[in-house]
């Protein structure tokens, strides 16, 4: 059972945020059912207000957590309730730098990670291979490896995350932020789905690209659609 720290403002624990916590739990179950995280891996958070985030716990299997297992952290990283993920600094950095961010989802989906292992030379997935991806996310950068849970990890994410809401963390996982939990979850689905298609294409003979003029046309369409993950 999570314990409250003394001197914290979250005196009533998680009860006022039960519906948000249950939403996070539902997303975690979905991630686990799709095998996009294993055991205690991965983390999900939402920004409750300007000062606090609700985040998944450290050390627990995300497929089996309940809403009471979640943790509350303030914007400086001070724990208000529970035992937050060791990757909370990464989440806090995203909320600090991106005022529009309301939710962050970070699982470890196998195909997304596998591309960063197989192709360490790639700075992003070959987005010009898939029409849907250009339109839905714009691009999928691959951030260089950084030790999880460190400040260095927060630093490697930017400025890419200011121009796109999805990314692969090399040899580690995938990351998406959104103006809602659904948008962030959709971003992860886009990353892993594209990674699976590219893996299948690679196995079937190789990855090819759209004609340059068609790709340019799609980029213009994407600009018109705006920055959100679709």
Alpha helices in 86-180 (DSSP H): 88-97, 110-118, 131-137, 151-156, 160-163
Piece of the chain touching Zn ion by CB under 5 A; list 78-86, 110-118, 146-154, 157-165: 146-154
| Structure-token match 């340019």, residue found | 216
19-30 residues labelled b (16+ CB within 10 A) or e (exposed): ebbebbbebbee
User: Shortest gap between Cβ of 70 and Zn ion (angstroms)?
Assistant: 17
Least Å distance between CB 211 and Zn ion? 37
Contact 90, 157 (CB under 8 A): yes
- Cα-Cα-Cα-Cα dihedral sign, residues 19, 21, 26, 31: positive
Distance in Å, CB of 72 to Zn ion, minimum: 20
CB neighbours of 77 closer than 8 A, spacing ≥ 6? Answer: 88, 89, 92
Q: Footprint of Zn ion on residues 5-64 (CB under 5 A)?
A: none
CB of residue 175 to Zn ion, shortest distance in Å: 8
Residue whose entry in the numeric block shows the structure tokens 């627990």? 60
Structure tokens at 150: 């460190």
Residue 154 near Zn ion by CB under 5 A: no
Tell me the window of 8-16, 54-62, 113-121, 147-155 that interacts with Zn ion (CB under 5 A).
147-155
Q: For Zn ion, give the closer residue by CB, 79 or 175.
A: 175
d(CA 17, CA 206): 48
Asked if 173 touches Zn ion (CB under 5 A), the answer is yes
Nearer Cβ to Zn ion, position 154 or 173?
Answer: 173
- Residue 107 sits in the site that holds Zn ion (CB under 5 A): no
Block residue for tokens 């849970």: 149
**Interface stretch with Zn ion, choices 29-37, 157-165, 172-180, 206-214 (CB under 5 A):** 172-180
84 near Zn ion, judged by CB under 5 A: no
Binding site for Zn ion (CB under 5 A): 148, 173
């Amino acid at each position: 059972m999570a314990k409250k720290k003394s001197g914290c403002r979250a005196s009533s624990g998680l009860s006022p945020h039960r519906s948000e916590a249950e939403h996070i739990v539902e997303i975690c179950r979905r991630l686990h059912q799709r095998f996009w995280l294993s055991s205690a891996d991965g983390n999900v958070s939402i920004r409750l207000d300007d000062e606090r985030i609700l985040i998944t716990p450290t050390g627990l299997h995300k497929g089996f957590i309940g809403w009471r297992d979640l943790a509350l952290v303030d914007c400086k990283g001070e724990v208000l309730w529970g035992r937050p993920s060791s990757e909370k600094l990464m989440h806090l950095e995203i909320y600090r730098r991106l005022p529009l961010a309301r939710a962050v989802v970070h699982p470890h989906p196998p195909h997304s990670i596998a591309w960063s292992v197989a192709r360490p030379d790639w700075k992003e997935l070959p987005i010009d291979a898939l029409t849907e991806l250009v339109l839905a996310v714009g691009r999928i950068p691959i951030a260089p490896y950084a030790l999880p849970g460190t400040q260095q990890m927060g630093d490697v994410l930017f400025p890419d995350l200011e121009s796109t809401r999805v990314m692969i963390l090399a040899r580690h996982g995938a990351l998406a932020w959104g103006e809602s939990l659904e948008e962030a979850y959709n971003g992860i689905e886009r990353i892993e789905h594209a990674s699976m298609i590219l893996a299948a294409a690679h196995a079937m003979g190789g990855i090819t690209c759209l004609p340059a003029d068609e790709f340019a046309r799609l980029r213009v369409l994407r600009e018109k659609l705006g920055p959100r993950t679709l």
